[in-house]
Chains A and B, each alone.
Chain A
């Protein structure tokens, strides 16, 4: 109730609405995802209260999960990576004149899963926070390694390149004053580098500018399905066919959302695969099966909610979007982690409660607004992309009223474009960049405590388990069977 008293304050309700609507817009528009959008809007939140800011930015994240399905179903272009699988059956349903039920089950499924995910988040957060208070540097180091391992393991492209990006992120995070000895590291006596590179210019560059540059060289033509979107409320038969898909999708999404490196994208792929496997009619999948829409859409929304658990309880962002949100917390002077509930209960419970409110808003607003989102898709790229660039430039400048941040963002923008060309992923870099200072400090503290011995990492139970899982994952990736399955997964993502 305390959380709702904060979330329902007019100011916070407004930011929740803005976040949800912007998130849907980001989900609808191909070319810019939640990481880019959150990074671009980060500087705007400087004038807003901390709770309001996080409520808005979180709204963008889960709102994008709702919006992504609209383009997948109507245009066969996923607005968001997590909605890639929705194209397979959603677009087929639209071609068969069933765009309405596809959009309807997607919205209702998203709402049910998103809400259940928040319930789970509330149940798990407090006990996990209490447990995390017992964690020492060994445990934190091992958890960070597990998160980074998962991100590289489940990367879309080459695993070797993903691991390289992780290490590049770690190196970049070392720029600035050493947190223990205050020695300037790779600063070249540039005063602006003493505080290190900010997460916002890096993320805006990689996911905002880089994305726009890639889109500028392509000619994308979107063909909307020439059918009227009607019967948005799924029929009784649709509900019967998709009810278990919704349940399984929610559960798969919830578990994968908690895992570091998992997140909504993997959840949607795995839940679709699971649904096809358990279905009595697997041959219908890919030809317009409503379960093929219900399952991934519920999974990605459930994962979006549960991924807040490691961020808010352990202070470890499990995916790239939440790592930017982690940066937002830090910018507002709050360190997410086990002390968040104790020190900032208004932020913690306010944000959590706002997620219930946001899910209701998205359901109520999105179905009637589908015709508007369809119109948004018609905005030509030649007007949209310059506007995104301008937002990035203003955003980067306004953080510190400094042209230096603008340069950093542009450099990372060009790097982001080149990464795409040379098939390197930005996500492992950003996650490692955000977790780098934590890793650096915890590793050094752990080694000091254990007098240089690495055995302590394998004696402490939590550290031993997490490090063992990381090692197993890395080793298993070299097994032919696992290698083949990973390759298939990566190819399916790349093809779509």
Chain B
């Protein structure tokens, strides 16, 4: 059994059921007078059928024996997890904290993943945000959130 494909197939099947329901709510219409949910409905229906095919193939073992952990074995997946969480935190607090402060913290964290000396991490993050601010704010006139620092 290919648990890899089985899990993704089940996930996509759930998505297709949800989208089909939404499309029906919108109004599928008829072939002679298609409604706003027409393409959405047929796309999600075919998508659902393909998901079932993927599930069946995975149960029959056509993609070989695989478990979910196979894709992460021997890799530095913790870096990805930390970065993804940091990205979401960055976007969540960007407006409140401001571009400069939030980006400085974000870049420090990302540089620290490479395990350089602490002062190199701080200096690199500082230089990066200054350059980014100069280029994007002053040269390209991007208005960043000022946040608690008011800059």
**Chain A positions 403-448 with a Cβ under 8 Å from a chain B Cβ:** 403, 406-407, 410, 413-414, 417, 421-424, 436, 439-440, 443-444, 447-448
Q: Does B126 sit at the interface, judged by CB under 8 A?
A: no
Q: Determine how close the nearest CB of chain A comes to the CB of B56; give it in whole angstroms.
A: 11
**Chain A positions 189-212 with a Cβ under 8 Å from a chain B Cβ:** 209, 212
Residue among A167, A394, A407, A452 with the highest chain B CB neighbour number at 10 A: A167
Q: Given A410-B88, A448-B32, A218 and B76 touching (CB < 8 A)? A: yes
Q: Determine how close the nearest CB of chain B comes to the CB of A205; give it in whole angstroms.
A: 10
**Contact among A217, A397, A443 with B94 in the assembled complex (CB-CB below 8 Å):** A397
**Contact among A160, A170, A171, A386 with B110 in the assembled complex (CB-CB below 8 Å):** A386
Complex CA gap A126/B36 in Å reads 35
**Contact among B39, B63, B84, B140 with A44 in the assembled complex (CB-CB below 8 Å):** B140
In contact, B26 and A185 (Cβ under 8 angstroms): yes
Residues on A with beta carbons closer than 8 Å to the beta carbon of B36:
178, 180-181, 183, 185
In contact, A394 and B142 (Cβ under 8 angstroms): yes
Complex CA gap A422/B58 in Å reads 12
Q: Determine how close the nearest CB of chain A comes to the CB of B102; give it in whole angstroms.
A: 10
Complex CA gap A417/B75 in Å reads 14
Residues on B with beta carbons closer than 8 Å to the beta carbon of A174:
39-40, 43
**Contact among B8, B31, B140 with A452 in the assembled complex (CB-CB below 8 Å):** B31
In contact, A382 and B33 (Cβ under 8 angstroms): no
**Chain A positions 142-160 with a Cβ under 8 Å from a chain B Cβ:** 158, 160
In contact, A168 and B8 (Cβ under 8 angstroms): no
In contact, A444 and B43 (Cβ under 8 angstroms): no
Instruction: A167-B44, A213-B83, A454-B31 given; name 19 further pairs at CB < 8 Å.
Output: A44-B140, A158-B63, A160-B57, A164-B47, A171-B44, A181-B35, A183-B36, A185-B36, A216-B113, A382-B116, A386-B110, A397-B144, A398-B136, A398-B140, A406-B91, A444-B34, A447-B31, A448-B33, A453-B31
Chain B residues with a Cβ under 8 A of chain A: 4-5, 7-8, 12, 15, 19, 22, 26-27, 30-40, 43-44, 46-47, 50-51, 53-54, 57, 63, 71-72, 75-77, 79-80, 83-84, 87-88, 90-91, 94-95, 103, 106-107, 110-111, 113-114, 116, 124, 128, 132, 136, 140-144
Ranked nearest first, the 10 interchain pairs of A and B with the lowest CB-CB distance are: A382-B114, A452-B32, A452-B31, A386-B110, A178-B36, A167-B47, A217-B75, A183-B36, A398-B142, A421-B71
